[in-house]
Amino acid sequence: MFGFTKTISSPLTKLCTRLDDNLVNGVTADRLLRDVQIRGGSENKRAAILSLLIMAASGHFVSKSLPWDKGGWWEGSRRYLRGTNLDVITAEASVWIAFLMFQFRRHENREMRERIGYVSFPRAAQMTLMTIKSETGIDFTAREIESRKLYFEALKDDALSEAFASVVFRSLGCKSLAEPLKPSGPQYMLAPEWTPISLHVGIFFKTIPQGYYDTFKNIMLHEASDHFPPDEGWDEAD
């Protein structure tokens, strides 16, 4: 798959895809905790685990959910993705999935929010940005703020899938995370690549992010609950 972009280095995508492959192959909470230690440890292991899951879900999207011309029905996919640095899409996917994790947690009852953590969620988003910078050399904070604003607006219309699909479309052709996305506007809906992108994002959105969130809850509450005491320093307004 990555042969399509062999002239563009994509270290972030390779990392996130490897994390996802490990999960698919049955990686346990103990292995994720070891990964946290290998990466230098963390004062908040709960947030570190969540960050790893966010990145793994991003790897899943890029490696398994993008329309990679597998059956030939989108013949242009090779052409469009060949000129794109997949790290751009992976970084944007990480921002979107982190945002979704916040929303899943917000819909839990108070007891569950306390058990799975409060301060860990914004900290996990920060850790993900730190990983993006360490893998690519680019500070993605400004773009993260821009995309997050887009998703907050999309919440009003229940259009989070469409909002991210538009970001993926605008990422096509970007060769660096420092390169600005294509301008936004309704014209992209007329482009041939818009339909397959929006379809595949929609399919991914229906099940995959929730599945990674449920994996996080299972680790916190069951599989490795002894490693994660009740979260401290939470803010009820968070």
| pLDDT tens track for 10-30 | 999 999 999 898 887 666 666
Task: Give the separation between CA 94 and CA 209, rounded to whole angstroms.
Answer: 11
Q: How distant, in Å, are the alpha carbons of 14, 15, 66, 105, 185 from that of 190?
A: 32, 34, 19, 36, 11
- Which has more confidence, 183 or 69? 183
DSSP string, 58-91: HHHIIIIIS--SSSSSSTTHHHHHHTS-HHHHHH
Task: Give the separation between CA 58 and CA 19, rounded to whole angstroms.
Answer: 10
Task: Give the separation between CA 223 and CA 218, rounded to whole angstroms.
Answer: 6
Task: Give the separation between CA 125 and CA 98, rounded to whole angstroms.
Answer: 6
- Which has more confidence, 69 or 111? 111
- Which has more confidence, 157 or 224? 157
How sure is the predictor about 157, in pLDDT bands with cuts at 50, 70 and 90? very high
What pLDDT score was predicted for residue 38? 52
With 0-12 / 13-18 / 19 or more C-beta atoms within 10 angstroms meaning exposed / middle / buried, residue 124 is buried
What pLDDT score was predicted for residue 112? 83
Question: Which string of b and e fits 132-163 if b means at least 16 CB within 10 Å?
Answer: bbebbebebeebbeebbebbeebeeeeebbeb
What pLDDT score was predicted for residue 211? 93
What pLDDT score was predicted for residue 42? 56
Task: Give the separation between CA 159 and CA 23, rounded to whole angstroms.
Answer: 28
How sure is the predictor about 142, in pLDDT bands with cuts at 50, 70 and 90? very high
What pLDDT score was predicted for residue 231? 52
How sure is the predictor about 111, in pLDDT bands with cuts at 50, 70 and 90? confident
Helix axes 11-24, 45-60, angle to 10 degrees: 100
- Residue 162 parent element (H or E): helix 160-171
Q: What is the DSSP secondary structure assignment for residue 4, as one 8-state letter?
A: G
- Tokens 């292991």 sit at which residue? 45
Taking residues 65-93, what's their average pLDDT? 73
Taking residues 111-122, what's their average pLDDT? 81
Q: How distant, in Å, are the alpha carbons of 75, 77, 199, 202, 219 from that of 71?
A: 9, 11, 15, 19, 37
Q: Over 80: is that where the pLDDT of 77 sits? A: no
**Pick from 72-81, 139-148, 168-177, 184-193: least confident:** 72-81
Q: What is the mean pLDDT of the chain?
A: 82
What pLDDT score was predicted for residue 222? 75
- CA atoms in the 13 A half-sphere facing the CB of 177: 27
